[in-house]
Structure 1
Amino acid sequence: MLNLERLRTLHAVSTTGSVRGAAEALHVTTSAVSQQLSRLEREVGQQLLERQGRGIQLTDVGGLLAEHAARLLQQVELIETDLADHRGAVAGSLSVAAFATAARGLLPPMLHTLRQRHPSLTVRLAELEPTEAIAELRHGAVDIAVVQDWPEEPLPVPEGISRVSLLEDVLDVALPVQHHFAGRDVVTLDELRDEDWVSWPDDEICHGWLENTLRRNGIEPRVKHTASEHSTQLAVVAAGSTVAIIPRLGRGRTPAGVRFVPLRPAPRRRVFALWRNSTTNRPAFQAALRALQDSARQCDTDTPA
């Protein structure tokens, strides 16, 4: 008889594309993943993986079994949801992934609300970039993914995943206090065409959005520095030679040496929650989504800091 956890491991390899990715998604070691796959191959009696360059790929049999595993795991999740719904209890565990500023600005109030309303529910938070969060959501390591995109650059949502909008977040330009625009009420991107920029690392979607936004406005980006953390970006801005665009959600206190000025037109990013269709009726999920929506309604991203 095929082992469910070994099928879950194969599914994780299929969705992440590697043993390392599966190990990270399942929160186990790579050797544990390899052992599960070896045992599954012995159970099936056929090779499931093969080397391709420096990586691996599923064999035809491995791909077929991974497809069956995906359907089986979805059915197991539906069974668990039906049982939880029958009990009517908001209990057990739930995993939520969110990008950094949402993890700071949205999730702490949500966690507080759930602790007050449903003390028997254990919630685990993971800070992940949207593409990583979606990958973990697809193979079941995450129950809710809080992600972001922009109207002009929508984020693809896989089949079998539902979404709901949480809020729209406004972004402002961060200037050194001695900048000649620092005293302005508003500034346009065109007025910033000769500036040097601090951006995010080029593998993060925010970096692509910034470069594309500047180019759509006829500006060739001059990115001099990159940093994931907004606190680091702002420290570089305060040094006096660069500017940055920073969202309001989860921004925190404005550091000395920096002045935020609204942009016109104001760039807006969309923040939304994703979940697997099979978890929609689970009481714990419904409670968490309500708490997340309550937290989003309390956020004021329309008022400049």
Structure 2
Amino acid sequence: MKDQRCILHLIMYVCFMIDIGSLRALTAIEQHGSVIAASEIMGFSPSAVSQQVKKLEKQTGFAVLERRGRGVLLTERGLALAAYGRRILAELEELHSTLLADPAKPSGRLKVVAFSTACRGLVGPMLGRLASSETELEVSVLAEDPREAVARVANGEADLGVVHNWNSVPLVIPEHMSLEWLCEDIADLLVHRSHPLAGQAAVEPADLLDERWVSTPHGAICNEALLRIFADLGRVPDIRVYDPDFATHIALVDQAAVVALVPRLGRPGLPPDVVSVPVVNPMQVRHVGIVHRRTMTASPGIRHVAGLLREIAGSPNQ
């Protein structure tokens, strides 16, 4: 505790000498590559971000940005100051989540980013439990693919991410982030009741070579997982429809137009004419977990929300 207070005093001294908002602007420009991109992330106008940079240059007495064509680059001193700024901002975040927070009373605002089916199957129930409790914690949610979720949490745009990692498509987690796996989510083949495979106890990849598919968009992790099923067979799936919403996939299967690979987590009830068939050799499994910056490990809000998600993921209905 004494060490934390010493760090807090040091940060307060630095913040008195150099405006903390200006440091945030500089680190945002370094992370996102331009003043415009930084302004979008910070929620300010490009002019406001430029003013923060000018204030920083006035306080330090040296230029931190230089023009390069239509864009800007950080100067050598600007890069050094941005690296210093990241450390200060990380220390400040950690202090806010520990020394300045009441561990018994989670409060404040928490930004969560999660993939769509986790929003339905995990985050939705978590929000329901928060709403029925006396916790003074405000949670906002954004639906994103796991890679975007990791990037948003890594850059400080979100506080906690709910992500998945297919057994065939690894998800890269930066070193300054913490990852905890919550549960496994199995994906099944969905076919129309009239389909020849509807009566099978299970199917293997070789059984699916000549099917017409609906898939999540190019580049999405679930799309890559579908492609990987056929990789060892020297084929690619015949994808006729690309759509990000698994509810649409189910609706198209209900029309006997395509087949689909749909995870169980957050999956709505299937129509009477849609049949679920397990896929084996290999079974299609994705691991579902939560990520946050290590500086937020002791945050009462993070701990509370993570605990709720852990309970929900471990319940018999998941």
TM-score (norm 1): 0.88
Q: Distance in 2 between matches of 1:227 and 1:30?
A: 34
* Aligned-pair CA distance for 1:233: 2.1
Partner SS state of residue 163, structure 1? strand
Contact 1:190 1:219 in 2 (8 A): no
- Structure 2 counterpart of 1:232: 248
2:260 aligned with 1:244: yes
Contact 2:191 2:276 in 1 (8 A): yes
1:271 to 266, 288, 294: 288
Q: How many residues align?
A: 300
Q: Distance in 1 between matches of 2:215 and 2:144?
A: 18
* Aligned-pair CA distance for 1:2: 2.5
* Aligned-pair CA distance for 1:118: 4.2
Q: What pairs with 1:1-305 in structure 2 (closer than 5 Å)? A: 1-44=17-60, 45-48=62-65, 50-51=67-68, 57-85=73-101, 88-255=104-271, 257-265=273-281, 266-298=283-315, 300-301=317-318
Q: Which runs of 5+ in 1 are unaligned?
A: none
Q: Which runs of 5+ in 2 are unaligned?
A: 1-16
Task: Please tell me the residue identity of whatever aligns with 1:139.
Answer: N
Q: Which moved more, 1:16-25 or 1:107-116?
A: 16-25
Q: Distance in 2 between matches of 1:43 and 1:135?
A: 31
Q: Distance in 1 between matches of 2:134 and 2:32?
A: 33
Contact 2:102 2:300 in 1 (8 A): no
> Computing the radius of gyration over CA atoms, which structure comes out larger, 1 or 2?
2
Q: Distance in 2 between matches of 1:177 and 1:35?
A: 63
Percent of residue pairs identical: 34
- Compared CA separation, residues 174 and 28, structure 1 to 2 (3 A): farther
Contact 1:78 1:279 in 2 (8 A): yes
Task: Please tell me the residue identity of whatever aligns with 1:156.
Answer: V
TM-score (norm 2): 0.85
Partner SS state of residue 182, structure 1? helix
- Compared CA separation, residues 284 and 178, structure 1 to 2 (3 A): same
* Aligned-pair CA distance for 1:300: 3.8
Q: Distance in 1 between matches of 2:157 and 2:120?
A: 21
- Compared CA separation, residues 134 and 25, structure 1 to 2 (3 A): farther
* Aligned-pair CA distance for 1:61: 3.2
Task: Please tell me the residue identity of whatever aligns with 1:243.
Answer: V
